Structures are given as structure tokens and as C-alpha cells.
Chains A and B, each alone.
Chain A
Amino acid sequence: MNPAMIEKLRELLPQVTGYIYPNEIEVHWGILIVVYPYITGVVAGAFILASLVKVFNVKEVQPLYRLAMLTALAFLLVAPLSLVSHLGHPFRAYEIFLTPQTSSAMAMFGFVYAWYLMVVLLVEIWFDYRKDMIVWSREETGVMRHVHRVLSLFSKDISDEALRFDNRALKVITIIGIPSAFLLHGYVGFIFGSIKANPWWSSVLMPIVFLFSAIVSGIALVILLYMIIYPMMGGKIDMKCVDKGMSFLFYAVIVDFSLEFVDFIHRIYQSEEEIKILGELVMNKLFFSLVIVQVLMGMLFPLGVLSAIKIFRRFRESEELRKLLYFVSLILIQGGIFSTRWNVVIGGQMFSKSFRGLTTYKMEFGGIEGLLYGLGLLALPLVILAVLLKILPAWKEFAKAPQA
């Protein structure tokens, strides 16, 4: 037994208000489980943004397409790391694939994840880059040449017929991919929403709300990355693209906000048994993270800014002002969506299932359940993205043949 852990629990005891079931003193799902839905949310949202190009033919956001796909891939690769790190026995994680319990959403999610990674994301990226990789490998030398040859599975066919097939395949995969992306993150919402024991989580709307906040965070992150990376590589931001992207983001935020608002009104109106403790939870433990960060800063302020940009001519005329406002809104939205995840995961464990008390979550700084590791997991996909962008450049204008 770990005496340090016992000490930590002992310190929590005076922070408990009211009555909690004695086993509830330990908060079981911590920062790692907050990071996880945030990451899969970005994956789903980035993919939806990419599908706007391929399926809905929104030409203006074409510059974001490859960045969105690579962002989705980078984040998807890190997602299971967050989960496996959190397990009591990480080295038994393979059991989810060998003896999955079909009634368990968590088990089935393993297969949804595998499907999405293998059949949707990797295949789509492959078809999109295949021709370019063949062309690049012809002119390159050294390591990169071999990397591209291997990645293109040694194919050499870039005839018109082959390229037409590539495009058709891309369309088909994206069409399959949209419900798959919905399933990927909707499942995470279902994992929470199906827990009847916890009234903060148990809701039919949970998968839907998760999905739309995922779309918001994914689209926002891709646009944000574009606004940072593209100038770093020497390009000038295509404002038509960003404006169009922000438009879609605006609609997504409206839907997301409406859903959460409806959930809120519904709960208060129905006023079931748990409303008292949930009210206390929001007002006492989650006031800053929910009311301030998630709602005010993460949704209402960006909504206000984006609406103002749509309505008032002054914003349409000044590109620099728009860029600044977009940038700030995008960062606030990221914080807001992360806070949403926090409020769902941590919030659901802050109140007792006896409906009589509240406890507290003390996040450590170091260690595997600590803030440092959590932030590392959020930064790791960006590192992977950097590597991916080196191997698979996202914009043709910068894709000069790399040196050996």
C-alpha cells in the first residue's frame, strides 16, 4: 500500500461537505480521462472539417484539408496513450481485444477506434497523398525517398485512371468516415451518458453534446494551427479560407450552445431528485470552470465576437482586426471545450451518489496522474504533427523536395 496515497486521501477528508459514500473519497477518473475526450473530440472535429472539402465541396477551405487530416491522425495516435496510462494494469490492456464484453461501451470502443484509425483515417490519408508521394520519391534522395516509397506501398501508377480512382475512393471513404467520426466521439459520450448511476452524466443528449463540442474544438484547432503554422512556413494566410472556416465554426458553436442550454433548462424544469446537489455542485465546485470558462469565455464571448464580425461592416473590411479576434476566439474556444470535458468528467465525481454531499479533486503536479503528464499528452500530438508535416507536407506550395 502506498502511504503517500493514503496521506493524500486523508487530506481530502476535511474538504468533504455533507455526506459521501465512504468509497467515493477517491476520485477515480482524473486529468487523464479529461484529456482523452478532448483529444478524440479534436479528431472527430478535424475530420468533419476535412469532409467539408471532400464531400460537401466547400472549395474555400481546401487549404485546411490536409492539415485537418494530419491533425486528426496525430491526435488519434495519442488518444489511447491517455487511456492506457490511467489503467491500474496498463499491460493488461490487450484484454479489451481478446475478451471484450459486448455490453460494455468501453470494450466496443476499442474496435471503433481500430476501425476508424485503419479503415478511415489512414486509408484516406494514403489515397490523398499517394500520387504526391510517388512524385516526390522520384525527385528525392536518401532517407525521405525510401520513406515515401514505403509509405506509398511501392505503387508507381499515377495514370489518369488511377487518379480518378483515388478521388472516388476518397469520396467514398469520407462518406463512410463521417458517421465513423460521429461514432468515434459519440461513443465517448455514450460511455458517460449510459451510466444511470450518475445523474450528471446520464442523459440521452450526452453523445450529441459531446459530438458537437467535439466538432467545435476540432474545427477551431485546425484553423488555429493553420493561422500559426502557415505563416511560420512563410505563407500568407488565406483569409477567404479562414473566414469560411470560422463561419462553419460559428454554426457549430450555435448548435453546441443551444444543445447545452436546452439540457440546462430541461434539468431545471424537470427538477428531479438530484437537482439540489447538482445545483450546489455548479455553484460551489464548478463555478469558475463552468460558468466562467466554459460558458462565458468559451462560448458566449466567441459567439458574440463572431456574430459581431458577421454583422458589422468594420470587421469585414479590416483583415488584421479579424485575424486578431479570430485568434483570441479560437484560443478561448479551446479552453472552453477543455473545460467542458473537465466539468463533465471531474464534475460528475464531485458529488456523491447519495445526493447528500460534495467532495473535491486535488490534481497532482507530477506522476502519471499529474498535470505535467496531462499537458505532455496534449503537447505530444503537436510534436507528432510536426513530424507528419515534415514527411507529408500539407501545402503543395511548400512541398519542395526535402534533402537527404
Chain B
Amino acid sequence: MKKPFPKVPDALARLLIVFAVVIGVTIVVVKFVIPPRFKDTNLQWADTVQRENAKPVRYAGAVACAECHEEVVVEKRKGYHRDLSCETCHGPAKMHTDDPDQVKPPAPRDRKFCPLCHTFNPSRPRGFPMINPVAHNPMKPCFSCHNPHDPKPPTVPRECSACHGEIARTLSVSHHVQLKCTTCHTVPAQHRVSPRVIKPTKPSNRDFCGKCHAKESPYKGSPKIDLATHGEKYVCWQCHYPHLPEVD
């Protein structure tokens, strides 16, 4: 085989030819044979967004229910469940909006359902209404007393522990167990109806606790301190948790 490039050694020339062929074929295949959708990420991404948008929807959204069920929506709007979507309890309802007569979303009637949110649990935020499902009106379905769309309790809660279960439980093992909530907190009646709007009062100065705990106090059953010197400038509850005031 004659040498195409006389200055280039034979071995190198052969190698370069092999490389040139491989690279050339690769370039030709990639540029001309392979279709753009395999090479262009922008095309692929646009296609992905299209496919995402075409995915089916299973939850119709609260707005969709109002079209046909306006009375329920109006009823719910002012009650304690106003922040809930219909589908929170009734499950995915898109198919129902597509064919309202054939497909009906379930209405949960089981006593196991409402406690999913309302069982007492110490991790739940304060003031959230919680019950002990075993003790609270056993065997009675929840909706027999509480309309799910406007779940006012049939009677205004008598005990603060209905919503303040954690505090009640803490208090029950403390030295303050005999104190009623109203001993320290003045509770307007409206608080039981609009708990987040009308709040109970809290004591604001050391003299309040001093009523029982000052040296001079006539009350017999409490530890006494000198109000003038004990705890410097702080109010009492900056150190002592009133619901569990033990100093260990």
C-alpha cells in the first residue's frame, strides 16, 4: 500500500485512518440518522410538560362542588369546617363531576373516620378540638350530634378539656389539679363559640399568684415565698409553668 503521507510513519497513518473512519461514521450517524427528539433536551422537556399536563385529575377541587351543591357550600362557609375541602372527607370526586348520576362519592359515616383528625394526640396543635373516641358518646355515630357541614357541638363544651386536652392532662398530675381553669382565666362565653377570636384572659402580675403563694396569704395549702424578693424582676410564669408548677 503506497504511503499517502510520506512524512507520517506507516503505523500512525493506519491508526489515524481507523480513528477518522470511526469518528466520521459517528458524526454522520449522530447528525443525520438520529432524529432530533433523541438529541435535543428542549424538545424532550417540552414533551414532558405536555405529558404532565395531560395527566388525569382525580380530585375535582372545592370550587367544582359549588356548581351543584351550593346550599352545602353556604352552610359550610360559616361553620368550623369552613377550611375543609369537600374532598377532604368525601374523597376524590372528579369522576363524579364528569358523571354525577352514575358515580357518587362516599359520605363517611363510620365512627372511625372523624377521629382521624379529632382523636386526642399530644402532637396536635393547642386548642384543636380533640376527643377520646372510646369515651366520647360510645357507639353513637358522630353525625348524629354533629352536622359535618356545620359541626357545632350540640351543647357548648362544658369542660375546657374538650379543646385543651393536653393542658388538662398535664394539670391532672400537677399540684394545681384542684384548681378550676376559671380560677386563673376569665373565659367569656363567646370563647366557646369563636375560640380564636375571643380569648380568655391570663393573669398579668405577680400579685395574682401571690394571692395563694405570698407569705402573707391566708390560704393554707400552698408553698409560700416572699413576694418582694423571690424571683427578682420576673413574673411567676417565666419560671414556673402554671399547669405543672413543680420545682423538681
Chains A and B directly touch (beta carbon < 8 Å):
yes
Report which A residues bind B (CB closer than 8 A).
95, 98-99, 101, 118, 123, 126-127, 130, 153-157, 161-162, 165-166, 169
| 9-residue interface stretch from B11-19, B50-58, B135-143, B156-164 | B11-19
Given contacts A98-B30, A153-B14, A153-B15, contact A162 B9 (CB under 8 A): yes
A162: contacting residue among B10, B34, B39, B44, CB under 8 A: B10
Given A98-B34, A98-B38: 7 more A-B contacts, CB < 8 Å: A98-B39, A153-B14, A155-B10, A155-B14, A156-B10, A161-B9, A165-B9
Q: Does B41 contact A (CB under 8 A)?
A: yes
Q: Which residues of B contact A166 (CB under 8 A)?
A: 11
A155: contacting residue among B11, B22, B40, CB under 8 A: B11
CA distance A98 to B14 in the complex (A): 28
Q: Which residues of A contact B22 (CB under 8 A)?
A: 118
Q: Closest approach, in angstroms, between the C-beta of A335 and any C-beta of chain B?
A: 39
Pair B41/A127 contact, Cβ less than 8 Å: no
CA distance A154 to B1 in the complex (A): 10
Q: Which residues of A contact B34 (CB under 8 A)?
A: 98
Q: Which residues of B contact A118 (CB under 8 A)?
A: 19, 22
Q: Which residues of A contact B40 (CB under 8 A)?
A: 99
Pair B38/A126 contact, Cβ less than 8 Å: no
Q: Which residues of B contact A123 (CB under 8 A)?
A: 15
Pair B39/A157 contact, Cβ less than 8 Å: no
Q: Which residues of A contact B19 (CB under 8 A)?
A: 118
B11: contacting residue among A95, A99, A130, CB under 8 A: A130
CA distance A165 to B1 in the complex (A): 19
Sample 24 A-B pairs with CB under 8 A, ordered by A number. A95-B38, A98-B38, A99-B38, A99-B39, A99-B41, A101-B41, A118-B19, A118-B22, A123-B15, A126-B15, A130-B11, A153-B15, A154-B1, A155-B11, A155-B14, A156-B10, A157-B9, A157-B10, A161-B9, A162-B9, A162-B11, A165-B9, A165-B12, A169-B11
Q: Which residues of A contact B38 (CB under 8 A)?
A: 95, 98-99
Name which of B11, B22, B38 has the most chain A CB atoms within 10 A of its CB.
B11
- A156's nearest neighbour on chain B, judged by CB, is B10
The contact string, 1 if C-beta is below 8 Å from chain A, for chain B 1-34, is 1000000011110110011001000000010001
- B39's nearest neighbour on chain A, judged by CB, is A98
- The total of chain B residues at the interface (CB under 8 A) is 17
Given contacts A98-B39, A99-B44, contact A157 B11 (CB under 8 A): yes
Pair A169/B14 contact, Cβ less than 8 Å: no
CA distance A117 to B11 in the complex (A): 19
Q: Closest approach, in angstroms, between the C-beta of B27 and any C-beta of chain A?
A: 12
The contact string, 1 if C-beta is below 8 Å from chain A, for chain B 55-83, is 00000000000000000000000000000
Q: Which residues of A contact B11 (CB under 8 A)?
A: 127, 130, 153, 155, 157, 162, 165-166, 169
Name which of B1, B10, B12, B39 has the most chain A CB atoms within 10 A of its CB.
B10
Q: Is the interface of B mostly helix, strand, loop or mixed?
A: helix
Name which of B1, B9, B18 has the most chain A CB atoms within 10 A of its CB.
B9
CA distance A131 to B9 in the complex (A): 14
CA distance A127 to B9 in the complex (A): 12
Q: Give the top 3 A-B pairs by smallest Cβ distance, nearest first.
A: A157-B10, A153-B14, A165-B9
CA distance A155 to B15 in the complex (A): 10
- B10's nearest neighbour on chain A, judged by CB, is A157
- A168's nearest neighbour on chain B, judged by CB, is B9
Q: Closest approach, in angstroms, between the C-beta of A89 and any C-beta of chain B?
A: 14
Pair B14/A154 contact, Cβ less than 8 Å: yes
- B22's nearest neighbour on chain A, judged by CB, is A118
CA distance A315 to B38 in the complex (A): 62
CA distance A157 to B18 in the complex (A): 17
Q: Closest approach, in angstroms, between the C-beta of B68 and any C-beta of chain A?
A: 37
CA distance A257 to B211 in the complex (A): 72
CA distance A162 to B9 in the complex (A): 7
Q: Which residues of B contact A127 (CB under 8 A)?
A: 11
Q: Which residues of B contact A156 (CB under 8 A)?
A: 10
Q: Closest approach, in angstroms, between the C-beta of B30 and any C-beta of chain A?
A: 7
Q: Which residues of A contact B14 (CB under 8 A)?
A: 153-155
Q: Which residues of A contact B12 (CB under 8 A)?
A: 165, 169
Name which of A154, A157, A161, A166 has the most chain B CB atoms within 10 A of its CB.
A157
Q: Which residues of A contact B1 (CB under 8 A)?
A: 154
Q: Closest approach, in angstroms, between the C-beta of A101 and any C-beta of chain B?
A: 8
Pair A153/B41 contact, Cβ less than 8 Å: no
Q: Closest approach, in angstroms, between the C-beta of B42 and any C-beta of chain A?
A: 10
Q: Which residues of B contact A154 (CB under 8 A)?
A: 1, 14
Q: Closest approach, in angstroms, between the C-beta of B34 and any C-beta of chain A?
A: 7
Q: Which residues of B contact A157 (CB under 8 A)?
A: 9-11
Q: Which residues of A contact B10 (CB under 8 A)?
A: 155-157, 162
Q: Which residues of A contact B30 (CB under 8 A)?
A: 98
- B38's nearest neighbour on chain A, judged by CB, is A98
Q: Closest approach, in angstroms, between the C-beta of B20 and any C-beta of chain A?
A: 13
CA distance A275 to B38 in the complex (A): 44
CA distance A123 to B22 in the complex (A): 14
- B43's nearest neighbour on chain A, judged by CB, is A99
Q: Closest approach, in angstroms, between the C-beta of B95 and any C-beta of chain A?
A: 23
Name which of B15, B38, B41 has the most chain A CB atoms within 10 A of its CB.
B15
Residues of B142-187 whose CB lies within 8 A of A: none
CA distance A166 to B11 in the complex (A): 8
Q: Closest approach, in angstroms, between the C-beta of B4 and any C-beta of chain A?
A: 14
Q: Which residues of B contact A165 (CB under 8 A)?
A: 9, 11-12
Q: Which residues of A contact B15 (CB under 8 A)?
A: 123, 126, 153
Q: Closest approach, in angstroms, between the C-beta of B19 and any C-beta of chain A?
A: 8
Q: Which residues of B contact A153 (CB under 8 A)?
A: 11, 14-15, 18
Q: Which residues of B contact A126 (CB under 8 A)?
A: 15
Q: Closest approach, in angstroms, between the C-beta of A160 and any C-beta of chain B?
A: 12
Q: Closest approach, in angstroms, between the C-beta of A19 and any C-beta of chain B?
A: 15
Q: Which residues of A contact B18 (CB under 8 A)?
A: 153
CA distance A375 to B13 in the complex (A): 41
